[in-house]
A and B are shown apart, each in its own frame.
Chain A
Amino acid sequence: MKNTLIHTLKKATLALSVATALTAQALSATELTVYTAVESDDLQKYAQRFNQAHPDISVRWVRDSTGVMTARLLAEKENPRADVIWGLAATSLLMLDAEDMLHPYAPVGVENLDPKFVDQNTPPAWVGMDAWVAAICYNTIEGEKQGVPMPTSWEDLTRPEYQGHVIMPNPSSSGTGYLDVASWIQLFGEEKAWEYMDGLHNNISRYTHSGSAPCNLAASGEAVVGVSFAFRAARLKSQGAPIEIVFPSEGLGWDMEAAAIVKGTQNLEAAQTLMDWIVSREANEMYNEGYAVVAMPGVAKPIENYPLDIVERMIDNDFSFAAVNRDRILQEWQRRYDGKTEAR
């Protein structure tokens, strides 16, 4: 018994080592460690499409939420472990760039991208991939049951019939939450925006720590209205959630997913090859499978669950305004709403 077990084990180990040797050979030379916040169900697709063009570079993913990934990159500053960042919020990349952690590089074909999606410096420290747009998730079943109508604008959410039915991310915990607050300030002007949020605060049932949670909670009927972002909403809807995706009429806050080379990489050449592919038409067509707005003009085809005029409805987002004023805005937000957040 014991002998056969050991025998089998030995055989298995042998087979395993042969297999590892073979795959290692097939994947050959370069391995790139890529940090990302792209949804985990998309990662395989991203790597496979890239490998169709460049089979000689293998992508080894490390994936987590935007906040964790950004914290991790900053913490690793002294001795970076990632070669490339592919799919992290541009605001995060701005922070990393301010810490001088990115290796500027102009990918071949970067001139084909919308200049709004490319870092202003030459060569650019980062390049955008697609836009990630704020949206409201509205649960149709619960809305009908509880007599809460579907909102069409941000302003609607302050109306009395929404009292206790709205969930949004806490801007101190979630990048999506801060994106909302920053976009309201840019849309309405600072004073009006705080007035708006005062009204909204009265209707909020609770603030969550994650940006996708409000939409997840709306999808499962825990809330009627969740302030979240369009990508998550579209995914949930296609999974069968009874939600409508509302794109508020005043305008949509947004951030972009972007890519960059991490300074100090040992695999600069492969990293540059990957960056070249990241800005290619092929890649942009791939982003378009999940996102309505992508970096290369003329590529995006309308996709399910998104309005046709989405580009016009996105606000002129001033990323540096949002970044520079972050501490001040968050402190004001905490002063107004966080001190009185006892349970209802």
Chain B
Amino acid sequence: MSVSLSALKVPALRYRFSSETLLKLLFLLAALALMLIGLALPLYTMLLKSLQNGAGDFIGLANYRHYFSTPALANSIFNSFYIAILTMVLVVSLAFMCAYGITRTCMPGKRFFRVLTLLPILAPSLLPAISLVYIFGNQGYLKELLGGASIYGPIGIVIGMCFWIFPHALMILVTALSNSDARLYEAAKAMKTSAFRTFMTVTLPGVRYGLMSCSFVVFTLAITDFGVPKVIGGQYNLLATDIYKQVVGQQNFQMGAVVSVILLLPAVFTFIADRWVQRRQTSQLSARAVPYQPEPSRVRDWTFALLCYAVAGFILLIIGTAVYASLIQFWPYNLSFTLQHYRFDGLGGNGWESWFNSLKMAGGVALIGTLVIFTNAWLVEKSKEFPVLRQSVHLFSILPMAVPGMVLGLAYIFFFNHPSNPLNFLYGTLAILILNTLIHFYTVCHLTSMTALKQLDPEFESVGASLKVPFWRTYTRVTLPVSLPAVLDISVYLFVNAMTTVSAVVFLYGPDTRLASVSVLHLDEAGYFASAAAMAVLILLTSMAVKVMHAGVTFLLLRKAQSWRQR
């Protein structure tokens, strides 16, 4: 590669442009190929089933007619939207206030708070479900707080979803709020603009893109999640649990595909809305920008601190309860302490093996995923050539979030296990788990990258080009270092999600690649609640350890690469 490039460079400078363009084209095509193989083709194979009968014959829209004639359907759609919108409003407003506290105030204990808010994504989704039952269930120690209402229904679903979606929202909003131009605030101050007006005219417009994409992410995550409603939702019907009923309860892939298609609609809507917002987004962090440094203000700082501590307290309550659950003999009838649940009795001895598999898988996803996703986002955002190609990569990057994990998992079976697929050797290996997980969690990472990249002035690229610096050098010397916080967040995000994911991989693991998160599910199913909590806590501790290591290693890196932000 390097030989051919230098060979191209030699003849004349005017060829450089085309060779760079060619390289960009190759990268973009590779990104597109990844999306086709990892997402589009498997989904197509799956969704085709919605137009077929059980025997595989094409029957047009008959399945849809059948589904729309089901009486429970209207209920499911209404419930799904109700839950998703409620969760969106709660999570986005809370996350915005917390992100504001982190980035724009001098509240005490910021770093500690950030670590705490990360905890929910470090834990498998069954952890809040188990904890919520211990806290608010019929035997729960705080059930009076619900005033007689049952946790097994919309209340439990919304609390559980808020718990695990909150960190996702916070990650996007912190990125959006942390790139700011202090000069705007200085100007506002010089003109004696009121704090409220400054907020409305400077702060909010600056994070509009982040706020919108955050809302879309939360909405889509909430509407597609089936983990929380399955365990705690009781009989409250949602579209996502309808898929579960069809696929796992009745092995009716055709109807499962029908519901999946209906659930994909919000994603299409998201894409259109995203385009609409984006057209109005101007980059805020120009090449001459000066990062904003908040001034201390006692009242403001403590208001935000108290709010953030309340959120952190709730998170700690949930996690503390799970730790407690893993340490007592038999809830709620024998409350003596024991460590025996960490022997994972219900797993017949290979509990730790699955933990090791999870570690390998998560490491692979974090390493490969971060590189691939950020580079692809950069190609989409910062190149000028091949708009159609870039747009299709972007569309495919938004899509994965709207695909319920179960659907993605089954789609992978249909596509990769097909005898005529040359890639079918991947099936049952760790590699397919890595690919699947990478794609499954692609969207939030992509949006985070885009948010970070949008705030970088395109002048960086123009200056690079006019200085005749090849684009990859601008990328590795300027863009990547400047975006390092976002890049590092992405890698941790991928790692911890890979440690905890269940819904897709449950269809894909092989005899040698069983994962710890799947073990939690098995233990819970078998009634070993305490061992399930123990495995969940073990996963949590692992992710925490990795997070701490990661923070340590990158602290120095960051200090070096980000020193320009300090004044």
From B70, B244, B350, B511, give the contact of A334 (CB < 8 A). B70
* Cβ–Cβ contact A220 & B253, under 8 A: no
Which A residues are in CB contact (< 8 Å) with B347? 40-41
Which A residues are in CB contact (< 8 Å) with B419? 78-79
CA distance A113 to B152 in the complex (A): 45
**Could you mark each residue 288-332 of chain B with 1 if its beta carbon is under 8 Å from any beta carbon of chain A, else 0?**
000000000000000000000000000000000000000001111
Which B residues are in CB contact (< 8 Å) with A232? 526-527
* Cβ–Cβ contact A343 & B348, under 8 A: no
- Closest residue of chain A to B153 (Cβ to Cβ) is A343
In the complex, whether B245 has a CB less than 8 A from a CB of chain A is yes
* Cβ–Cβ contact B527 & A235, under 8 A: yes
Size of the chain B interface, CB-CB below 8 angstroms:
63
In the complex, whether A215 has a CB less than 8 A from a CB of chain B is yes
A239 CB to nearest B CB, Å? 7
In the complex, whether B506 has a CB less than 8 A from a CB of chain A is yes
In the complex, whether A242 has a CB less than 8 A from a CB of chain B is yes
A342 CB to nearest B CB, Å? 7
Within A307-344, the residues touching B (CB, 8 Å) are 326, 330, 334-335, 338-339, 341-344
B408 CB to nearest A CB, Å? 13
* Cβ–Cβ contact A212 & B249, under 8 A: no
* Cβ–Cβ contact B410 & A75, under 8 A: yes
* Cβ–Cβ contact B251 & A71, under 8 A: yes
In the complex, whether A286 has a CB less than 8 A from a CB of chain B is no
With A207-B234, A242-B333 known as contacts, the answer to whether A79 contacts B424 (CB < 8 A) is: yes
In the complex, whether A281 has a CB less than 8 A from a CB of chain B is no
In the complex, whether B385 has a CB less than 8 A from a CB of chain A is no
- Closest residue of chain A to B74 (Cβ to Cβ) is A339
CA distance A25 to B138 in the complex (A): 54
Binds A, one of B177-185, B235-243, B450-458: B235-243
From B139, B155, B241, give the contact of A221 (CB < 8 A). B139
- Closest residue of chain A to B237 (Cβ to Cβ) is A341
- Closest residue of chain B to A67 (Cβ to Cβ) is B248
Could you say which of B245, B507, B511 has the most chain A C-beta atoms within 10 Å of its C-beta?
B511
With A62-B509, A343-B236 known as contacts, the answer to whether A78 contacts B72 (CB < 8 A) is: no
In the complex, whether B230 has a CB less than 8 A from a CB of chain A is yes
* Cβ–Cβ contact A209 & B529, under 8 A: no
From B329, B522, B527, give the contact of A216 (CB < 8 A). B527
Could you say which of B75, B137, B245 has the most chain A C-beta atoms within 10 Å of its C-beta?
B245
Interface size class of A (residues with CB under 8 A): 35 or more
Binds B, one of A127-135, A168-176, A247-255, A293-301: A168-176
Which B residues are in CB contact (< 8 Å) with A174? 249
Which A residues are in CB contact (< 8 Å) with B427? 79, 81
From A71, A81, A241, A330, give the contact of B410 (CB < 8 A). A71
In the complex, whether A63 has a CB less than 8 A from a CB of chain B is yes
* Cβ–Cβ contact A341 & B236, under 8 A: yes
CA distance A326 to B250 in the complex (A): 9
* Cβ–Cβ contact A209 & B249, under 8 A: yes
* Cβ–Cβ contact A221 & B235, under 8 A: no
* Cβ–Cβ contact B138 & A221, under 8 A: yes
* Cβ–Cβ contact A339 & B71, under 8 A: yes
- Closest residue of chain A to B347 (Cβ to Cβ) is A40
CA distance A71 to B245 in the complex (A): 11
CA distance A205 to B234 in the complex (A): 9
Within B391-444, the residues touching A (CB, 8 Å) are 410, 413-414, 417-419, 424, 427-428
* Cβ–Cβ contact B71 & A335, under 8 A: yes
CA distance A339 to B153 in the complex (A): 15
* Cβ–Cβ contact B529 & A216, under 8 A: yes
* Cβ–Cβ contact A78 & B139, under 8 A: no
* Cβ–Cβ contact B507 & A172, under 8 A: no
B414 CB to nearest A CB, Å? 6
With A170-B235, A240-B330, A338-B237 known as contacts, the answer to whether A75 contacts B253 (CB < 8 A) is: yes
With A40-B346, A206-B152, A221-B139 known as contacts, the answer to whether A75 contacts B522 (CB < 8 A) is: no
Could you say which of A79, A221, A232, A242 has the most chain B C-beta atoms within 10 Å of its C-beta?
A79
* Cβ–Cβ contact A33 & B511, under 8 A: yes
In the complex, whether A148 has a CB less than 8 A from a CB of chain B is no
A residues at B contact (CB < 8 Å): 33, 39-45, 60-65, 67-68, 70-72, 74-76, 78-79, 81, 95, 141, 170-175, 205-210, 212-213, 215-216, 219-223, 232, 235-236, 239-242, 326, 330, 334-335, 338-339, 341-344
Closest 8 CB pairs of A and B: A343-B153, A60-B511, A173-B249, A67-B248, A206-B234, A216-B527, A44-B348, A341-B235
A-B contacts besides A239-B528, A339-B72, A343-B153, 5 pairs, CB < 8 Å: A33-B511, A78-B417, A222-B139, A235-B526, A343-B150
